[in-house]
Amino acid sequence: MEAGEKDGVLLSAFLSGQVYSPLIEFKNVTKEFPGGVQALKGVSLTIKDGEFVVIVGLSGAGKSTLLRCLNRLVEPTSGQIIIDGVDVTAAKAAELRKVRTQIGMIFQSFNLVKRSSALRNVLSGRLGSMSTLDSLLGNFSKEDIAVALEALARVEIEDKANFRADQLSGGQQQRVSIARALAQQPKIILADEPVASLDPPTSHVVMGDLKRINRELGITTIVNLHFIDLAQQYAERIIGLRGGQLVYDGPAADVDEKTFEMIYGRSIRKEDLRGGDDE
Amino acid sequence: MKGRRVLGYVGFVLFLVTVWWSTTGLDINWERVMTGLPGAAAIVNLMFPPNWGYAGDVGGRLIETIHIAIVGTSIGAILAIPFGFLAAINVSRSRLMVGFGKSLLNAIRTFPELLLAIVIMRGVGPGAFAGVLAMGVHSIGMLGKLYAEVVEGIDPGPVEALQSTGANRIQTIWYGIIPQVLPDFASYALYRLEINIRAASVLGLVGAGGIGIPLLFNLRARIWDKVGMILLGIIVVVTIVDYGSAYLRKRIV
Amino acid sequence: MSGGLHNMDRLREERRSWFYFAIGIAIYGWSIYGVGFDPIDLVRGLPAMGNLFARMWPPDLAYVPTILPAFLETIKIALLSTVVGGLLAIPIILLAARNINRTIWLVYTVKAFLNLVRTLPDMLLAAIFVAALGVGALPGVMALAIFSFGIIAKLTSESTEAIDPGPIEAMEAVGARKLQVIHFAVVPQILPQFVAYCLYVFEINIRVAAVLGLVGAGGIGRLLLRDMNLLRYPQALTIIIATFVLVAGLDFFSTKLRERLI
């Protein structure tokens, strides 16, 4: 796009209240870890605002690295990542933090502060938009607390707000974790194997929550999964990684067992399925 | 395998030789031990019954001893915190700082507390203040090392999560690291209090305040029933502090 | 929401926490006053301390051969008292472990006795023994032996109570006598821990032995006190540095040994 065209698109997008589309762009992103391991090899893809994308692949295929490059928890070796018009790969510290406040992340091991209450954990999602002094004093505004409580309510766990995180079950902890991401009022939610530590019924609850949030709030959601049945059930679009390379990108409806075998590079085994669908 | 066994035996023999060597050259021989033990027993006998009338004076000095232990330990407990972070590999900014921090802490730990008290007394004069300072500095060394181990053992997960929300470094430390380490810090500090209450009672032996001062005086004057009273007071205070500390430490977990 | 009831409890808890906090501050303030804590004194005293260091530097290295015997005496005291303390502890350990000594009242009596012994600071014992037996290394060794005995006995007996009961049960089942049970089922499990605790106590004793001389109980401390009183500061610094090296060296050696035991 030329400069003039770009301004034109931005202007019309601004006027119509739409976000610059696509929301996320990966341009030939490569990540090489010290020791020579190439986790990502020239990955390019775009994600539109409001999409629900599931990334599948074997362990070590690069799913986690891809997600972490988005908010630069991992530094890409080369390539560009553009989020909402901002070049994330070139952003300096302060700008990077601003971008991160717009991205909520959920982890396989929940990553809550065990000794703090659920509410406090969720409130820590507001830190990015608070001054350091206010943070040290614990000076959360009424709006902050309201946002946090609403986030807890959205994942139906408001009654556990004052419980210590380590007093909650795995599924409840993950929902607190989702609430923490929601409290940021983000544009994007990243979920790195969110259900790998949960039992089958709870996995479906959590995936259902993520899907519902995507629909009701319009938050772009990218989920890493290695359970292919969950991927097929919840994804709109499936991206397949193998050996650090993009090998599949298409609607979930078009995906069948053969596609997965191609992505995995082997036949499907029992441990690739989650099972335990409720009802 | 056999080589290790031989090494074990050789080591053991060397050990026995070293122990035998230790008994030489000291002015210890069976005669002295034989006369010494009954002598000690006789004196222990003289300590009971303790001089109850002396209890008032003892009480005052014991309170000063407790004061020394409280202030000294808290100085150490608080000032050791930055050292704990400085000397922790996973938090500190450079490996040089970690090395420097750990070396400094080791240096402080190896320096005997009583010696430190003597040196400090040259500056601020004899009394409890010197004792507090010596105890504080020594405790920084002892607690700093333990704190660093705690920091190095934290779960990095919550820290990563906070970074991903856009929190800056200070916010990440305050909300992600501090809640993890504070209970363990407090636990170590309370344990240090148990050790320091004993150390505080000894400081007086070199003049740095507390119950040690009247103890030294009465020992030199051989007033055994007063010594007995002092000992009784020390035992009571140390036991109370021990129980209190153990109780609080259980509550923290 | 059930927020109403929760809020009442939380309010009461918070008020209680503030109450304890206020008490804590009060005690703390009293303590600071009680010890005569005066930062101004400290600042005024710093030049005097600096002066002291200036007069100590540089250390008199030619002094080293003279103090060598006293040094060796310090090591001997530390070693001997640890060994004696450890040996004395062995029977008591067996008496204080609930899974070996089945006579409950005896176990608790012994545990109480050990707690009593452990309340007495090492230097205190040394001062008392010096007053009783006169100056020299003997009171030092006796005092530290008792001190070591207390710690080793308590730590080892607690570890003994935590060992795997399987071998003990097995041996009792085949009708072995108490001593055989101990020899075959307990000792192999507890021996590494026992030695580790002895080394730990040795590390403590080495530091104490270095200052025992301050109360007349032998070792390098006696010479240090004498030199400080005679204003022979460079010599005193030599002793301080040498003590430092000694403690650091033996610490390192002992830590390495302990690592190999685990």
Contacts of C47 in chain B (CB under 8 A): 123
Strand A237-242 and strand A86-87: pairing? unpaired
Tell whether B252 lies on the interface with A, counting CB pairs under 8 A: no
Which residue matches tokens 């556990």? A160
Contacts of the segment B43-48: beta carbons below 8 A, 24+ positions apart: B43/B224, B43/C128, B43/C131, B43/C132, B46/B224, B46/B225, B46/B228, B47/B224, B47/B225, B47/B227, B47/B228, B47/B231, B48/B228
Which tokens is B189 given? 């500090």
Task: State how far the Cα of B232 lies from the Cα of B196, in Å rounded to an integer.
Answer: 18
Q: Between C55 and A123, where is the model more confident? A: A123
**Residues A76 and A91 sit within 8 Å (Cβ to Cβ):** no
Neighbouring residues of C95: CB distance < 8 A, sequence distance ≥ 6:
C101, C106, C107, C110
Task: State how far the Cα of A209 lies from the Cα of A156, in Å rounded to an integer.
Answer: 10
Q: What are phi and psi of A42, to 5 degrees?
A: 55, 55
Question: Is A184 in Cβ contact with B180 (below 8 Å)?
Answer: no
The string of pLDDT tens digits covering residues C147-206 is: 999 999 999 999 998 888 888 888 888 888 888 888 888 888 888 889 989 998 998 898
For residue A116, the tally of other CB atoms under 10 A from its CB is 20
For C:86-115, CB contacts with B below 8 A are 115
Q: Would you call A201 helix, strand, or coil by DSSP?
A: helix
Q: Is C158 exposed, middle or buried (0-12, 13-18, 19+ CB in 10 A)?
A: middle
Eight-class DSSP state of A166? G
Q: What is the mean pLDDT of chain C?
A: 85
Confidence check: pLDDT of C254 > 90: no
**What pLDDT is attached to residue C2?**
44
Question: Is B166 in Cβ contact with A113 (below 8 Å)?
Answer: no
**What pLDDT is attached to residue B69?**
94
Q: Which residues, listed in sequence order, are joined to residue A249 by a DSSP beta bridge? A: A239
Question: Is C1 in Cβ contact with A162 (below 8 Å)?
Answer: no
**What pLDDT is attached to residue B5?**
78
Task: State how far the Cα of B106 lies from the Cα of B83, in Å rounded to an integer.
Answer: 12
Question: How many contacts does A have with B, using Cβ atoms within 8 A?
Answer: 80
Tell whether B181 lies on the interface with A, counting CB pairs under 8 A: no
Eight-class DSSP state of A20? P
Neighbouring residues of A61: CB distance < 8 A, sequence distance ≥ 6:
A241, A242, A243, A244
DSSP string, B161-179: HHHHTT--HHHHIIIIIHH
Which tokens is C70 given? 């006293």
CB-nearest partner of C127 from B39, B43, B205:
B205
Name the region of A162 (left: φ>0; alpha: ψ -120 to 50; beta: rest): alpha
The string of pLDDT tens digits covering residues B117-142 is: 988 888 788 888 999 999 999 999 99
Distance from CA of C88 to the nearest CA of B (A): 15
**What pLDDT is attached to residue B134?**
94
Which tokens is C22 given? 């206020």
DSSP string, C207-253: HHHHHHGGGTSSSHHHHHHHHHHTT-HHHHHHHHHHHHHHHHHHHHH
The string of pLDDT tens digits covering residues C3-12 is: 444 556 667 7
User: How many residues are there in chain A?
Assistant: 279
Which residue matches tokens 């008792």? C146
DSSP string, A39-105: EEEEEEEEE-TT-EEEEE--TTSSHHHHHHHHTTSS--SEEEEEETTEEGGG--HHHHHHHHHTEEE
CB-nearest partner of C211 from B40, B66, B115:
B115
Q: Angle at CA A224, nearest 5°, toward A221 and A225?
A: 125
Closest residue on chain A to B179 (Cα): A115
CA distances from A253 to A215, C25, C28 (A): 18, 67, 69
**What pLDDT is attached to residue A279?**
39
Which residue matches tokens 């500095």? B137
Name the region of A79 (left: φ>0; alpha: ψ -120 to 50; beta: rest): left
CA proximity to A49, closest of A192, A181, A221 = A221
Contacts of A158 in chain C (CB under 8 A): 1
Distance from CA of B183 to the nearest CA of A (A): 9
DSSP string, A216-272: HH--EEEEEES-HHHHHHH-SEEEEEETTEEEEEEEGGG--HHHHHHHHTS---GGG
Residue C1 — pLDDT band, cuts 50, 70, 90? Answer: very low
- In this structure, of A62-71, B186-195, C76-85, C226-235, the range with the lowest mean pLDDT score is C226-235
**Residues B75 and B139 sit within 8 Å (Cβ to Cβ):** yes
> Which stretches of chain A sit within 8 Å of chain C by CB?
158-159, 162
Question: Is C132 in Cβ contact with B115 (below 8 Å)?
Answer: no
**What pLDDT is attached to residue C227?**
86
Rounded to the nearest 10 degrees, the angle between the axes of helix C137-161 and helix C122-133 is: 140
Task: State how far the Cα of B152 lies from the Cα of B87, in Å rounded to an integer.
Answer: 9
Task: State how far the Cα of B213 lies from the Cα of A6, in Å rounded to an integer.
Answer: 85
Task: State how far the Cα of B102 lies from the Cα of B83, in Å rounded to an integer.
Answer: 9
**What pLDDT is attached to residue C3?**
46
Give the global pTM.
0.82
Question: Is A158 in Cβ contact with C1 (below 8 Å)?
Answer: yes
Task: State how far the Cα of C62 lies from the Cα of A28, in Å rounded to an integer.
Answer: 71
Tell whether C116 lies on the interface with B, counting CB pairs under 8 A: yes
Which tokens is C101 given? 């000594």
CA proximity to B211, closest of B80, B71, B97, B62 = B62
Task: State how far the Cα of B188 lies from the Cα of B149, in Å rounded to an integer.
Answer: 11
What does each of the 279 residues of chain A score in pLDDT, given as a tens digit?
444 455 555 555 455 445 556 788 899 899 999 888 889 999 999 999 999 999 999 888 889 999 999 999 999 999 999 998 889 998 898 899 999 999 999 999 999 999 899 999 999 999 988 888 888 888 899 999 999 999 999 999 999 999 999 999 999 999 999 999 999 999 999 999 999 999 999 999 999 999 999 999 999 999 999 888 899 899 999 999 998 899 999 998 888 888 888 888 888 888 788 876 543
For C:192-221, CB contacts with B below 8 A are 207, 210-211, 214-215, 218
Strand A24-32 and strand A78-83: pairing? antiparallel
**What pLDDT is attached to residue C18?**
80
- In this structure, of A103-107, A183-187, B29-33, B166-170, the range with the lowest mean pLDDT score is B29-33
Q: What are phi and psi of C134, to 5 degrees?
A: 95, 170
**What pLDDT is attached to residue A102?**
93
CA distances from A221 to A47, A104, A116, B33, B73 (A): 10, 9, 27, 82, 51
Q: What are phi and psi of A223, to 5 degrees?
A: -120, 130
DSSP string, chain C: -THHHHHHHHHHHHHHHHHHHHHHHHHHHHHHHHTT--HHHHHHHHHHHHHHHHHHPSP-GGGHHHHHHHHHHHHHHHHHHHHHHHHHHHHHHHHH-TTT---HHHHHHHHHHHHHHHHS-HHHHHHHHHHHH-SSHHHHHHHHHHHHHHHHHHHHHHHHHTS-HHHHHHHHHTT--HHHHIIIIIHHHHHHHHHHHHHHHHHHHHHHHHHHGGGTSSSHHHHHHHHHHTT-HHHHHHHHHHHHHHHHHHHHHHHHHHHHH-
Task: State how far the Cα of C232 lies from the Cα of C51, in Å rounded to an integer.
Answer: 14
Q: Which residues, listed in sequence order, are joined to residue A53 by a DSSP beta bridge? A: A222, A237
